[in-house]
Amino acid sequence: MINTIHKMFSACKKGVAFNAMSTYVDYRDEILYYSNPMEIFDYCKRNLTRNVILRHEYLVKENSIPYEYTMYLYK
């Protein structure tokens, strides 16, 4: 995942956004890939750009927990 993010950011002119499954979930499916949003945020902030936004608050359905996050990286 880190390699892909790095390649996307290197190729962009203004920025990139991506969505991923979070490790902050109440259920996991063994065939899906989950990433820790704080680890990804930290990597992007330290290695790619200071302009990073992490959104992890939106709900797919009411009374659930947010199981996805979106990261925005700007040049």
Taking the domains of the chain in order of start, what are their residue ranges?
2-74
What number is the average pLDDT over the span 3-29? Answer: 94
- Model confidence band, residue 25 (pLDDT cutoffs 50, 70, 90): confident
Q: pLDDT value at position 42?
A: 97
Question: Residue 6 burial (CB < 10 Å; 0-12/13-18/19+)?
Answer: middle
Identify the weakest region by mean pLDDT among 12-21, 37-46, 58-67. Answer: 58-67
